Amino acid sequence: MIEFQAVTKRFDDGTVAVDELNLSVDPGRITVFVGPSGCGKTTSLRMVNRMIDASSGTILVDGKDIRQSDPPLLRRGIGYVIQQAGLFPHRTVLDNVATVPLLSGWDRRKARSRAAELLEIVGLPSELGKRYPAQLSGGQQQRVGVARALAVDPPVLLMDEPFSAVDPVVREGLQDELLRLQDELDKTIVFVTHDIDEAIKLGDKVAVFRTGGKLAQYDKPSELLARPADDFVASFVGRDRGYRALGFLSADGLPVGELASVVLGTPVDQARAALRQGWAVVVDERKHPVGWVSADRLSTVDGLVTEDVLLSGGSLYDVDSGSLRSALDSALSSPSALGVAVDGTGALVGSVTADEVLRALASARDAGEVPQ
Ligand SMILES: Nc1ncnc2c1ncn2[C@@H]1O[C@H](COP(=O)(O)OP(=O)(O)OP(=O)(O)O)[C@@H](O)[C@H]1O
């Protein structure tokens, strides 16, 4: 879909920002460019829509050499989202989103109704359409930026550090939202970030750049973690990469054990009788885990098991979609050392232990599913 063939960018002052880049971006997938500051990520991205022209080499979009495309026309087929959204401050949110459709010759009514539809797609309440960008939070502005880039339904989306100006919690929400959107839209997305965790979470494939505009490795995230090409990539992907690689191993077949449980509101003496090895998980009426009780904790209270009595739980492991990493994390973060397993609806299923996860890892290794 997008192909870089020996692409080099040398700026007028002699700086080589991108050096002989060869890379092919898969259609309908998210490709992330990641690397330290100044390694040429943004320059590589902006060459795709000809905001910067390559000094040598060829870039093909949909099989066509972009030098043969008129830049404004080329850009209409390529959505572009930048940090801090880059919205027009004196236009309403709705008009910001309607801008590209209007430029493409749509009539005002159609452009505005498309804009309203897009605000809904990116999860913004329609009344925000009347506001100006400064009257929105940073996260909301980013969503408007994404809506604007999607306005004429371009097959390609370029995203340059789109979420880096928002706080980590909002950022995670925006990342999840992008993955959800991509599930429906199947765009070809090139996403630039300097955050390796963001790259690994979002990328179907990740290109790691090193300073000097050279591509160090281009691979699936699981491969980057398991088989970094060299010391630079290994140190860039981070110290706990072995643990993070577990996130890509399915926990299918991991044994789920029994777990003592009591419902919130149970009399304390009944809860004591239900404990196993001094612990029970507490669930609400929908069987969703809400915390733990221990023999110690119950020895100091009477009456009913209420929320005040609970010890907070660790992370939950979803047996339908969880990875070995989430199973292990659930066990390690649990006050009882038993991880809490739930089904896709969030209802309690049973327990997992760190030992079982390590055994599952050993058999995956024996079966050749994990790189040695
Ligand atoms: N117009 C320019 N003239 C000269 N050098 C430039 C120009 N634009 C960028 N550069 C240089 O090219 C190199 C790559 O810049 P680029 O913006 O692509 O890096 P980046 O990886 O996106 O960095 P960051 O993560 O800091 O945004 C840097 O050394 C930068 O200083």
CA nearest to 359, candidates 284, 277, 257, 285: 257
What are the strands of the beta sheet with 188-193, ordered from one edge? 78-82, 156-160, 188-193, 30-34, 205-210, 214-219
Q: How far is the CA of 1 from the centre of ligand 1 (A)?
A: 25
In the chain, the N- to C-terminal Cα span, in Å, equals 33
What single DSSP character describes residue 262? E
| Residue 248 pLDDT | 83
Nearest-CA residue for ligand 1 atom 22 is 42
- Around 154, how many Cα atoms within 13 Å sit in the side-chain half-sphere? 29
Q: How far is the CA of 14 from the centre of ligand 1 (A)?
A: 12
Q: How far is the CA of 48 from the centre of ligand 1 (A)?
A: 15
Q: How far is the CA of 137 from the centre of ligand 1 (A)?
A: 29
Ligand 1 touching residue 140 (CB < 6 A): no
The three-state DSSP-derived secondary structure of 294-348 is EHHHHCCCCCECCHHHCECCCCEEECCCCEHHHHHHHHHHCCCCCEEEECCCCCE
What single DSSP character describes residue 26? P
Q: How far is the CA of 17 from the centre of ligand 1 (A)?
A: 6
| Residue 370 pLDDT | 64
- Exposed (0-12), middle (13-18) or buried (19+): which is 89, by Cβ within 10 Å? exposed
Query: 205-210 and 30-34: which strand pairing?
Result: parallel
| Residue 85 pLDDT | 65
| Residue 318 pLDDT | 93
Nearest-CA residue for ligand 1 atom 25 is 37
Please give the number of the atom of ligand 1 that sits closest to the Cα of 46. Answer: 18
ipTM: 0.96
Ligand 1 touching residue 46 (CB < 6 A): no
What single DSSP character describes residue 161? S
The token duo for 108 is 């005002």
pLDDT in tens, the chain (372 residues): 899 999 999 999 999 999 999 999 999 999 999 999 999 999 999 999 999 999 999 999 999 999 999 998 888 889 888 876 678 889 999 999 998 888 878 888 998 888 998 888 888 888 899 999 999 888 888 889 888 888 878 899 999 988 887 777 778 888 888 898 898 889 999 999 988 989 999 999 999 999 989 999 999 998 998 889 999 999 888 877 778 888 888 888 899 999 999 999 999 999 999 999 999 999 999 999 999 999 999 999 989 999 999 999 999 999 988 899 999 999 999 999 999 999 999 999 999 999 999 998 888 778 776 655
Nearest-CA residue for ligand 1 atom 12 is 17
Spell out the domains of the chain, with CATH numbers in brackets. Answer: 2-239 (3.40.50.300), 261-364 (3.10.580.10)
pTM: 0.80
